[in-house]
Amino acid sequence: MELRYVYIFFQLIAFLFAISIHESAHAWMASRCGDPTARMLGRITLNPLRHIDPVGTILLPAIALFTGFPMIGWAKPTPVDPRNFKNPVRDDILTSVAGPASNFLVVMVTVVLLGLLALTSPSAHYVVHAMARNMILDVNGITPLALMLHQLMVINILLGIFNLIPVPPLDGSHVLRHFLPVGALRLYDQMGIIGLMLLLFFGGRLLGALMFPVVGFFNDILARI
Q: How far is the C-alpha of 193 from the C-alpha of 180, rounded, in Å?
A: 19
pLDDT recorded at residue 189: 79
pLDDT value at residue 3: 65
**Average pLDDT along the chain, 225 residues, taken 10 residues at a time:** 74 93 97 96 94 87 76 85 93 96 97 95 90 78 89 94 90 89 82 77 83 95 92
- pLDDT at residue number 119: 93
Provide the pLDDT for residue 186. 82
pLDDT score, position 14:
94
Question: What is the per-residue pLDDT for 105?
Answer: 98
Residue 151's pLDDT is: 93
> Are residues 20 and 46 in contact, defined by beta-carbon separation less than 8 angstroms?
yes
Residue 162 sits at the vertex; the CA angle it makes with 219 and 221, to the nearest 5 degrees, is 10
- Measure Cα distances from 74 to 50, 118, 134, 158, 169 in Å: 13, 32, 26, 11, 10
| pLDDT score for 136 | 67
What per-residue confidence (pLDDT) applies to 8? 81
What confidence score (pLDDT) does residue 165 get? Answer: 92
Asked if 150 contacts 129 with a C-beta cutoff of 8 angstroms, the reply is no
